[in-house]
């Protein structure tokens, strides 16, 4: 049996896992099935896409397409600090995709 003090020592020396960085993009999309619909939304994208609109678009476009939307453009990428200021404008498309 492993002594409790050894388990505690090991637990204290194991480095903590890095905090997950969060990256989001705000975007515009359209849907055309008889009539044109547009929406502004906010979506989580991979951390590697922060600061890279093309990478954010590559990650987001397929998710939108599965629901019949076409990505028009990525407006910006940002961290969690930018979520609250965009929540109301995105409405039902806030973190929907």
Tokens of 11: 């637990």
Q: Give domain limits for the chain.
A: 19-93
pLDDT tens profile 64-81? 999 999 999 999 999 999
- Residue whose entry in the numeric block shows the structure tokens 């890279």: 52
12-16, 19-23, 72-76: the lowest-pLDDT one = 12-16
Give me the phi and psi of 80, to 5 degrees please.
-60, -20
Q: Can you give the pTM of this predicted structure?
A: 0.76
User: Taking the alpha carbons of 36, 42, 43, 47 in that order, is the dihedral positive or negative?
Assistant: positive
pLDDT tens profile 26-53? 999 999 988 999 999 999 999 999 999 9
């Amino acid at each position: 049996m492993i002594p409790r003090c050894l388990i505690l020592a090991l637990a204290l020396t194991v480095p903590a896992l890095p905090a997950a960085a969060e990256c989001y993009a705000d975007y515009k999309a359209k849907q055309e099935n008889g009539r044109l619909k547009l929406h502004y939304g906010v979506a989580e994208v991979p951390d590697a896409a922060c600061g890279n609109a093309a990478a954010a678009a590559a990650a987001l476009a397929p998710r939108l397409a599965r629901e019949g939307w076409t990505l028009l453009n990525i407006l910006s990428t940002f961290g969690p600090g930018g979520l609250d200021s965009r929540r109301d404008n995105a409405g039902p498309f806030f973190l929907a995709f």
